[in-house]
Chain A
Amino acid sequence: MSIILSELTKRFGENLVVNKVSLEIQNGELFVLLGSSGSGKSTILRMIAGLTEVDAGRIELDGRDVTFLPPQTRGTGFVFQNYSIFRHMTVLENIEFGLRIRKTPLEERRQRSEELLELVGLSGLGSRFADQISGGQRQRVALARALAYQPAVLLLDEPFGALDVKIRAQLRERLIDIQRQLNVTTILVTHDQEEAFELGDRIGVIERGDLIEVGNPEELYHRPKTEFVATFIGNGNVLVGRAEGGQVKLGSTILPFPKNAPFHDEGAPVRILFRPETVVLQDQPVLQKSDIHMLAQGLVIQRVFVGSQQRIRLEVDGLQGVRPIAPPPAYGQRMTHIVALQQSLSSGDRFRTGESFWIGVRDYHILAPTGLKILTCYDESPGGEAAFEFGARLAEASRGPTTLLTVIEHNQALAAAKEKLELLRPKHYPHPSHFETRVRQGASAAEILLEAQDGHYEVVVIGQRGRTVNPNLAGMGSTAWQVLNQAAVPVLIVQSPRPNIQRILICTAAGEPGKSDVRFGGRLARTTGAQATVFHIRRPRSTGAEKKRTDRHLRQAQSTLESLKVNCEIKVIDEAPLPEGILSEAEQGDYDLIVVGAPAPRSPQQFRWKDLDSQIVNGTTRPVLIVPMVE
């Protein structure tokens, strides 16, 4: 009996409790739904049993659509956390109840319930009442009662939640035995990871109504796809490096991408997970074994004895440009912490606080890349509003983490500014945990650039910030001007509101160093589902060789975009005056976004502003994305 859930959705009032959960559970499988309290896992179980109405989506039990059927006709066995044993009935009568309802002859149902009593190990207790047996026994009565009428699906809602640790362990084993013996398709809901690992054939991790990831226990522990699972399950170290030249740059260390690692765009952040037990601590940075990758030197700051092992927390100074995710950095913590698990030896501890060790990893795992990490700079000018809206649209499309930043003067109130930003929090943002607000104090441009660097953002969205029109700064305020000139990441300047992102114009000139603009434009097109047009204007009187180079460049651009599965076209026109050609194309095609390249800043102080780019920004009100070229 298989269970198929499609896009199951439930709201309680304004609260989205279950969000489009789709799941397929095989015949005879023991599936565990794991999540913290309030994650919506029990609601899913109750919807399958028919105890909670479904708002949207479908539930199929063995090919039968039961979405709107009453609980009585679904043929599920449900075990509640509080067991809900019928108090006025004996244990035997409780177990028989389902058969009695089904008008099974007395003799047959007696026999069946005796069998079940034996199966759950309660023979001889059939004539007791609920208040005469222990919690663990009640739990087993509830299980037997749910199994008596041979339901096709067994649903268990935190069945061991109220029991003490020892009984819990016994009952888990018994549950596995019974489940295997009867081969009944089972869903168990729990918040206990250990329980999930021990019981589940597969585990589905659920958080705030979203089914985040599904996999067998080992997959989820060693090879999770998402950051949430990596940090929620087990104690992991998760650090963010950067993809560079087909490898992962983690501080001063270069790690190769393992086989089957998910594809990362060049320059994209790469999240690396390594479990504490794979951390190697050595006195010397020498590689004793070739499969150990040295990370950095660290200082022991804490050691906790946990029986067979000891958990050691180290502080690492040498990981430049690495952002730690787990263990979560405390407020104001400057250095990265790494947790290691080492065997505890009776001969005393080698890892005393204050000692320094070289940290290596034996095994690491790369998480799937997130959507774009976006920094949206908010100010109260109309351009700031437009930037905020466009940024939110981009974030929604890419499902990436977004930070909304505002910079205030030193004498302004921090709390009020923060509150103002919180009010802008999109109401139905797909992943509320991915939306952050931040307030910095100081000079706008400097603070924005600092935040962009510290937070490892992939794109900065900014309004024009022009309070006074300054022809020298292409009609922009000085903040936007400075950010555009000095940011090392692509900057998206939004001058007026743009309702959607459907057509992207990527302007390219053959022979420029690097292809970052095409690649980044392609990434945007992929995440937003927009149509991309690669646009090129031939130089006047270009030679045959030049033409050839241009053609090759455009072919490469096309195949790059196609490999990103972007719907694209190539457009080449001859000998048009430069900014006007691009601007008229933008108007004619009604593009929502213009992508242009710019040379990378060689030093933070050097302005790289090209005439062409400034003319484009000046000549249009459409959003323009300026991508620094990586050489």
Chain B
Amino acid sequence: MNGTENSIQKVNKKRPRSTGLVPLILLLGVLFPLLLMPLIAIFIFASRSGLDGFLSALSQADAQFALRFSFIIASVAALINGVLGTFTAYVLSKYRFRGNQALSVIVNLPVAIPTVVVGTSLLLLWGPIGLLGKYLDPLGIQPMFTPVGVLLAHLFVTFPYMYGAVRPVLDELETTYEEAAYTIGASRWQTFRFVLLPALTGGLFSGSLLTFAHSLGEFGATIMVSGNLRLRTQTAPLYIFAQFEAGNIEAANAVAAVLAITSFILFFVLLRITQRKTVQVT
């Protein structure tokens, strides 16, 4: 593996590059205020009151809950959508039926819908006066403004990421790959378990990370369905928003920094995976 990576770098080095400085400076001039400076601001503010201030801001019960709740919701969302997304991708990729195309489009819709709209539509379905909610409410079942409601919102919003990561891998595998397993005697499930799933690991991993990262940062739908209840349904982004509004910039900043760092780590891991995949393909 190492050898192939080296050879790719060598190839890259050989590519002729123009050494124009002007475009580079222009590009940095755009990127710096647009992307880099806001990120830097978070850390500057977070470190203003020193490590102690940062830690004490984090150690508040609200902050602790919000972070823990966000990580749990993100993990569960990644897990559930991992299964659902893979299943959806498998069915839509391997079975031919009427409406396959339409379903493939619908599955990707959550990316295009504003998250606040998602929150609203969930409320209109499950809320106390919603289409289903109005029958469930008398039975004492009320998913909205509870952790379940938050999870529902996150599942909805992050659904396309898993699907999007797995579907192309499945589409790319030649059908003979499965057919070989069938003729050998493997059932559909065995074929999926022993032949397809191992081939999907890369897609599964990057899909999960994407789902996790998006769930961690979800705001629009969450604020609609959670009711923003402290120590009950308040996720980290909601906490940051609430603290900021209340003027506790330090508290908001500390949690924001944690989220930012987590995202960076996830991002770099993802980058590594995708790089390794391209190396494998070559």
Residues of A within 8 A of B (CB): 49-51, 70-78, 80, 82, 84, 86-89, 97-98, 100-102, 131, 142, 145-146, 149, 155
A145 touches B184 (CB 8 A): yes
A80 touches B199 (CB 8 A): no
Residue B181 is within 8 A (CB to CB) of chain A in the complex? yes
**Which one of A71, A86, A102, A131 lies within 8 Å of B183 (CB-CB)?**
A71
B184 touches A146 (CB 8 A): yes
- By CB atoms of chain A within 10 A, which of B180, B186, B280 has the most? B180
B180 touches A84 (CB 8 A): yes
Contact residues in B for A89 (Cβ distance below 8 Å): 198
Other than the known A84-B174, A84-B179, what 14 A-B pairs have Cβ atoms closer than 8 Å?
A49-B179, A51-B182, A70-B182, A72-B185, A75-B185, A78-B179, A80-B180, A84-B180, A86-B177, A86-B199, A87-B199, A88-B201, A101-B194, A145-B180
Residue B176 is within 8 A (CB to CB) of chain A in the complex? yes
How far is it, in angstroms, between the C-alpha of A70 and the C-alpha of B185 when the chains are bound? 10
Q: What would be 16 A-B contacts, judged by CB atoms less than 8 Å apart?
A: A49-B183, A50-B183, A51-B183, A71-B182, A71-B183, A72-B186, A78-B183, A80-B180, A82-B176, A84-B176, A84-B180, A86-B181, A86-B198, A88-B201, A97-B184, A102-B185
CB of A93, distance to nearest CB on chain B (Å)? 10
Residue B195 is within 8 A (CB to CB) of chain A in the complex? yes
Interface of B (DSSP majority class): helix
How far is it, in angstroms, between the C-alpha of A125 and the C-alpha of B198 when the chains are bound? 21
Residue B56 is within 8 A (CB to CB) of chain A in the complex? no
CB of B121, distance to nearest CB on chain A (Å)? 41
Q: A87-B199, A97-B194, A101-B190 are in contact. Are A72 and B179 (CB under 8 A)?
A: no
Contact residues in B for A78 (Cβ distance below 8 Å): 179-180, 183
Q: A101-B184, A145-B184, A149-B184 are in contact. Are A88 and B176 (CB under 8 A)?
A: no
Contact residues in A for B174 (Cβ distance below 8 Å): 82, 84
Contact residues in A for B181 (Cβ distance below 8 Å): 86, 97
How far is it, in angstroms, between the C-alpha of A263 and the C-alpha of B54 when the chains are bound? 104
Contact with A along B164-188 (1 / 0, CB 8 A): 0000000000101101111111110
CB of A307, distance to nearest CB on chain B (Å)? 38
Contact residues in A for B180 (Cβ distance below 8 Å): 78, 80, 84, 86, 142, 145
How far is it, in angstroms, between the C-alpha of A88 and the C-alpha of B198 when the chains are bound? 7
A101 touches B186 (CB 8 A): yes
How far is it, in angstroms, between the C-alpha of A98 and the C-alpha of B195 when the chains are bound? 12
How far is it, in angstroms, between the C-alpha of A78 and the C-alpha of B174 when the chains are bound? 15
**Residue ID in chain A nearest B186 by CB atoms:** A101
- 174-229 of chain B: CB within 8 A of chain A: 174, 176-177, 179-187, 190, 194-195, 198-199, 201
CB of A97, distance to nearest CB on chain B (Å)? 6
How far is it, in angstroms, between the C-alpha of A101 and the C-alpha of B187 when the chains are bound? 9
CB of A331, distance to nearest CB on chain B (Å)? 42
How far is it, in angstroms, between the C-alpha of A422 and the C-alpha of B56 when the chains are bound? 88
Task: Report the 10 A-B pairs with minimum CB-CB distance, sorted nearest first.
Answer: A78-B183, A88-B198, A71-B182, A84-B180, A98-B184, A84-B176, A80-B176, A84-B177, A101-B185, A101-B186
Contact residues in A for B201 (Cβ distance below 8 Å): 88
CB of B102, distance to nearest CB on chain A (Å)? 22
Contact with A along B110-136 (1 / 0, CB 8 A): 000000000000000000000000000
How far is it, in angstroms, between the C-alpha of A78 and the C-alpha of B178 when the chains are bound? 12
Contact residues in B for A77 (Cβ distance below 8 Å): 183-184
Q: A80-B176, A97-B194 are in contact. Are A88 and B199 (CB under 8 A)?
A: yes
How far is it, in angstroms, between the C-alpha of A75 and the C-alpha of B181 when the chains are bound? 12
Q: A82-B174, A82-B176, A86-B177 are in contact. Are A76 and B183 (CB under 8 A)?
A: yes
Contact residues in A for B184 (Cβ distance below 8 Å): 77, 97-98, 101, 145-146, 149
How far is it, in angstroms, between the C-alpha of A78 and the C-alpha of B180 when the chains are bound? 7
Contact residues in A for B194 (Cβ distance below 8 Å): 97, 100-101
How far is it, in angstroms, between the C-alpha of A73 and the C-alpha of B177 when the chains are bound? 18
Contact residues in A for B198 (Cβ distance below 8 Å): 86, 88-89
B179 touches A51 (CB 8 A): yes
Contact residues in B for A102 (Cβ distance below 8 Å): 185
**Residue ID in chain A nearest B194 by CB atoms:** A97
**Residue ID in chain B nearest A98 by CB atoms:** B184
Contact residues in B for A146 (Cβ distance below 8 Å): 183-184
How far is it, in angstroms, between the C-alpha of A89 and the C-alpha of B190 when the chains are bound? 15
How far is it, in angstroms, between the C-alpha of A73 and the C-alpha of B179 when the chains are bound? 13
- By CB atoms of chain B within 10 A, which of A70, A71, A75 has the most? A71
Contact residues in A for B195 (Cβ distance below 8 Å): 86
- 252-268 of chain B: CB within 8 A of chain A: none
CB of A104, distance to nearest CB on chain B (Å)? 11
A71 touches B199 (CB 8 A): no
How far is it, in angstroms, between the C-alpha of A318 and the C-alpha of B187 when the chains are bound? 68
CB of A162, distance to nearest CB on chain B (Å)? 13
How far is it, in angstroms, between the C-alpha of A71 and the C-alpha of B198 when the chains are bound? 22
Contact residues in B for A84 (Cβ distance below 8 Å): 174, 176-177, 179-180
**Residue ID in chain B nearest A74 by CB atoms:** B183
- 136-184 of chain B: CB within 8 A of chain A: 174, 176-177, 179-184
Contact residues in A for B177 (Cβ distance below 8 Å): 84, 86
**Residue ID in chain B nearest A100 by CB atoms:** B194
CB of A147, distance to nearest CB on chain B (Å)? 11
CB of B14, distance to nearest CB on chain A (Å)? 24
B186 touches A97 (CB 8 A): yes
CB of A539, distance to nearest CB on chain B (Å)? 75
Contact residues in A for B179 (Cβ distance below 8 Å): 49, 51, 71, 78, 80, 84
Contact residues in B for A49 (Cβ distance below 8 Å): 179, 183
